[in-house]
Amino acid sequence: MIEEVLDGGAVPTLLGACSRAGLLVVGRRTQRMPMPLGPSVLAFLHHSCCPVGVVPRK
């Protein structure tokens, strides 16, 4: 496993890093209305170059 610390916003940093990944796993809050997914998760789903797993928080 390779660990790396990067500066920057979460969305652009993770989208850049996912170009070297096989899977991007992100969490999401539950009971978010009216949008069940937040803007960051939507950005990952629409712009990621690898599969994205969205895991709800209990």
pLDDT range class, residue 9, cuts 50, 70, 90: very high
Q: What spatial distance separates the first Cα and last Cα of the chain, rounded to whole Å?
A: 27
Predicted pLDDT of residue 27: 87
Q: What's the whole-model pTM score?
A: 0.77
Average pLDDT over residues 40-52: 93
Say if residues 4 and 17 touch (Cβ distance below 8 Å).
yes
Q: What does the pLDDT look like over 10-45, one tens digit per residue?
A: 899 989 888 888 999 998 877 666 777 888 999 999
